Structure formats: structure tokens, C-alpha cells
């Protein structure tokens, strides 16, 4: 019996091939489930006791040499294939990996956050499903106030209290003032909802960034200076004008225009020939709002502002249709690359 094994060991040692199929057949013949080695292992129990030791040793030797043979044939075959260039030029550059890109809304949002965090503003967030108090009443928009008409609202529930999709991120300033003590410097980016017809210029879902600054002796000139800093950082344009306007939560209120210029045909088109573009609303926080949020208007004053991120992104990237932001067309999205 042991001689038979020895004969197999010789066969194993002599075996040579450079074909992958032959190596596999060899492996199956010796090491496979129904292979020679398993037959010998099964035979073990029938071997007389005094021969068991030699038999076992020989079988193990056969096993090891068969395994070693398979390994060495495989690795020499691989080296040969590599030498022949079967795997191609291994020094060639790798296939590019598609790493994706941020959405333009996120890029612009992050830029705005960066600009304001450089002057000490933190970032705050609030819920998209709001109650009447935070979205309207606390902001000096009591029930039946006509200014509520400025924002067509999606109501979720009207009884016992009004629950709605927030129409602006100004709701977050109320929450922030309720939960934090002055001085306050915060910006609140987020998604807002309005029951508006979808067109190239407006959508029922969009994004805003709200800003709030509350401290002692904050004045309108602090507001203006902050806005000039912001427009210079974001657009590289420092010429702005504040047009008197009305928001219930600020007094006085203003709309901010930046001077875009009239260099190109596009400048003419988007500024309707005036060179000026409206980019946000702002004002001094109305004392009633401070009171509603438990801040003493005799001790503290502050300013607030709010802007639409889509509008700013459309200006920065010259995008003509707001709907493109939500279609997730890769040909559109892949054009935006940013480290932010």
C-alpha cells in the first residue's frame, strides 16, 4: 500500500504543465472531494495497526507535495502570463473613479455658511413642519394679518392648532431666540414650502438662509456693513443699495439690491437693463418679535435678513430655470465641482 503511495508521490513530483486546465484537473485528481487522497484517508481504518504510522506519514507526504505542486504551477503560470503582458501594461494609469459631486444648492449653501461663520455666526436649524406661532404669529403676523397672504401656505392641520409646512426659515430665528440668550449671531439654512405654481422662476419647494444678529446697540449701519461684506465675499461685488420695503417682522425693512453691472448681454437681460439685482430682504428686528421671544427690546436690538439659495445659485452659475435643481439630471449636476 505504501508503495502505491510512493508511486503517486513520484507522479506528483514529475508532473508539469503550463495550462491552467491541466493544473485544475491535477488538483481534482489528487486533492478533490473524490480524489486519490480522500480514498487513502478512507482506507486508513482498514490498515493494520502496525502499518498505520508509515501509511499515515506517506499519505501526508503525498498531500503536501500535491498541494505544493498546485501552488508552484499556478504561480509560475501567473508570472508567465504577466511576462507575456496578458494583464496589459501594469504601469498604465488606473481607470478614473467617478466620485460624484455636490448639488449646486449645497455648494452655495456651504459658501454662505462659510462666509458668515468667518464673522462669528453659528448655524442653526429648525423643523420643516411648523406651528402657526413660529412661522407667523411670533413674527408679528397675527391671525388675519393681511401680510400672511404674501406666502401661500401648505396647511397640514388647522385644528386645534395650525400645523403647516414652514413658508420661510424666519421660523428658526423665533425658535433660536426662545432657546438662547442674547447676544445672538446665527444663520439658519433650510428648505421651505409655498403653494405656488411651478415655473422657470418659482417652485413650491426651495431653500433659504436666514440671518439673525441680536446684541446691545446693534444698528442699521451694522446691517449694511455685514451685507456689503457678504456680497463682496460671495459675488466679488460691493456696490449695494437698500430699498425701503415691508416685512412684518422687521422695522424698518429693506430689500437688498446688488449692482451686477451691464457689461454683457446677459447682464442686460437678468437686470432688465438696470444693472441692479434684488438678492434678499432684511431689516431691524421688530420690537414685538423680540418681546414674543422673551428678549427685552429696551436692552437689545438686532437685524435679520433672509435670502433664497436657488436665486443666488442661479445668479452665480447663470442657470435660467429653477426646475433644473430638482430634476436630478446628471448632465446638469456633473457640471458642479467644489471643495466645499
CB of 104 to ligand DAH, least distance (A): 21
> Using CA atoms, how far apart are residues 175 and 196, in angstroms rounded to an integer?
26
Between 76 and 219, whose beta carbon lies closer to ligand DAH? 219
Asked if 189 is part of the footprint of ligand DAH (rule: CB under 6 A), the reply reads no
CB of 260 to ligand DAH, least distance (A): 20
Contact of 163 with 130, CB cutoff 8 Å: yes
Asked if 153 is part of the footprint of ligand DAH (rule: CB under 6 A), the reply reads no
Asked if 283 is part of the footprint of ligand DAH (rule: CB under 6 A), the reply reads yes
> Using CA atoms, how far apart are residues 264 and 325, in angstroms rounded to an integer?
25
CB of 256 to ligand DAH, least distance (A): 9
Between 193 and 325, whose beta carbon lies closer to ligand DAH? 193
Contact of 209 with 109, CB cutoff 8 Å: yes
Between 104 and 190, whose beta carbon lies closer to ligand DAH? 190
Query: Using CB under 6 A, which of the segments 26-34, 215-223, 268-276, 301-309 binds ligand DAH?
Result: 301-309
The residue within the footprint of ligand DAH, chosen from 26, 247, 260, 325 (CB under 6 A), is: 247
The H-assigned helical ranges of the chain are: 2-14, 20-31, 36-43, 49-83, 104-117, 132-135, 170-179, 220-235, 265-270, 287-292, 309-317, 324-327, 330-333
Q: List Cβ neighbours of 253 (8 Å cut-off, separation of 6 or more).
A: 244, 245, 246, 247, 281, 282, 283
Residue least distant from ligand DAH (Cβ): 306
What are the residues binding ligand DAH (CB under 6 A)?
A: 168, 170, 210, 247, 250, 281-283, 304-306
Amino acid at each position: 500500500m505504501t508503495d502505491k503511495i510512493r508511486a503517486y508521490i513520484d507522479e506528483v513530483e514529475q508532473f508539469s504543465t503550463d495550462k491552467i486546465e491541466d493544473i485544475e484537473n491535477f488538483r481534482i485528481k489528487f486533492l478533490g472531494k473524490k480524489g486519490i487522497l480522500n480514498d487513502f484517508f478512507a482506507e486508513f481504518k482498514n490498515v493494520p495497526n502496525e502499518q498505520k504510522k508509515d501509511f499515515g506519514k506517506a499519505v501526508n507526504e503525498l498531500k503536501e507535495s500535491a498541494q505544493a505542486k498546485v501552488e508552484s504551477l499556478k504561480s509560475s503560470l501567473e508570472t508567465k502570463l504577466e511576462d507575456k503582458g496578458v494583464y496589459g501594461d501594469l504601469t498604465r494609469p488606473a481607470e478614473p473613479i467617478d466620485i460624484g459631486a455636490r448639488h449646486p444648492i449645497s455648494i452655495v449653501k456651504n459658501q454662505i455658511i462659510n462666509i458668515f461663520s468667518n464673522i462669528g455666526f453659528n448655524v442653526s436649524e429648525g423643523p420643516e413642519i411648523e406651528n402657526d406661532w413660529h412661522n407667523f404669529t411670533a413674527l408679528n403676523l397675527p391671525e388675519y394679518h393681511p401680510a400672511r397672504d404674501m406666502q401661500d401656505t401648505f396647511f397640514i392641520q388647522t385644528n386645534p392648532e395650525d400645523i403647516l409646512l414652514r413658508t420661510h426659515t424666519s421660523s428658526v430665528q423665533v425658535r433660536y431666540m426662545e432657546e438662547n440668550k442674547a447676544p445672538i449671531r446665527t444663520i439658519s439654512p433650510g428648505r421651505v414650502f409655498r403653494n405656488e405654481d411651478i415655473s422657470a422662476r418659482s417652485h413650491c419647494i426651495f431653500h433659504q438662509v436666514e440671518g439673525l444678529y441680536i446684541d446691545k446697540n446693534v444698528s442699521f449701519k451694522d446691517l449694511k456693513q455685514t451685507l456689503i461684506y457678504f456680497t463682496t465675499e460671495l459675488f466679488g461685488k460691493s456696490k449695494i443699495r437698500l430699498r425701503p420695503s415691508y416685512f412684518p417682522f422687521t422695522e424698518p425693512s429693506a430689500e437688498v439690491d446688488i449692482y451686477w453691472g451691464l457689461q454683457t448681454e446677459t447682464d442686460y437681460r437678468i437686470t432688465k437693463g438696470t444693472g441692479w439685482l434684488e438678492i434678499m430682504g432684511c431689516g431691524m428686528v421688530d420690537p414685538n418679535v423680540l418681546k414674543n421671544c422673551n428678549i427685552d427690546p429696551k436692552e437689545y436690538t438686532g437685524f435679520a435678513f433672509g435670502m433664497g439659495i436657488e436665486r443666488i445659485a442661479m445668479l452665480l452659475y447663470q442657470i435660467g430655470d429653477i426646475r433644473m435643481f430638482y430634476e436630478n439630471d446628471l448632465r446638469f449636476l456633473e457640471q458642479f465641482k467644489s471643495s466645499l
